[in-house]
Chain A
Amino acid sequence: GAVVSQHPSWVICKSGTSVKIECRSLDFQATTMFWYRQFPKQSLMLMATSNEGSKATYEQGVEKDKFLINHASLTLSTLTVTSAHPEDSSFYICSARGSFQETQYFGPGTRLLVL
């Protein structure tokens, strides 16, 4: 099956610092990657969609200058949380999708704690 990895799996940082999360598709080319945020006991909330080589499309209410997304290759997308604050603490999950597919394959998630 399609495998997606995320790194790191968890991170603790001080308020005001930036954190980068990597999402990799290991055995397929991901033309599109998605970044989600999940609050405890809730469903997934889509933050942004990124297509390889182009700018990400952010969902309404998501600050593009705070959550920087780069999708420079068909196997790697990164999410950078800039100037992180405690309210940014959450579970961040990426997913990847190949060309002409609707099914998304998810990474294992990254838990971010901002102190």
Chain B
Amino acid sequence: TQLLEQSPQFLSIQEGENLTVYCNSSSVFSSLQWYRQEPGEGPVLLVTVVTGGEVKKLKRLTFQFGDARKDSSLHITAAQPGDTGLYLCAGGKGTASKLTFGTGTRLQVTL
């Protein structure tokens, strides 16, 4: 069974703090997606990374794909309450395959 383990499972921080979420697997993926989901809504795509070692930045969010394409990280700088939500990583193994979703990281940012 393909598994994507995310850590931490839950994180509660104050506004302004930095944090990193990890997504790890023993499998190699051809792409890695990060989504954010708010309560009662569907996941919203944040980024797709496809190259080993690739780093992408989206404002205060920095995404990295591991060199071996087995893991990924999401770093948030100066977190804001609007960053609160469930963060999901998802790995792909080709255009004919389904995504393997991570276990999720629930982030809560308080004032």
Contacts and interface: CB of A to CB of B under 8 A. Distances in A.
Q: Do A and B come from one complex?
A: yes
Interface of A: 1, 4, 6, 34, 41-44, 46, 49, 91, 93, 95, 97, 99-109, 111
| Interface bracket on B | 20 to 34
B99 A43 contact: no
Contact of B104 (A1, A4, A43, A101): A43
Interface of B: 30-31, 33, 35, 40-45, 48, 88, 90, 92, 94-95, 97-99, 101-104, 106
Given A46-B98, A103-B33, A103-B92, A93 B45 contact: no
Contact of A101 (B40, B95, B106): B95
A44 B106 contact: no
B41 A109 contact: yes
B102 A104 contact: no
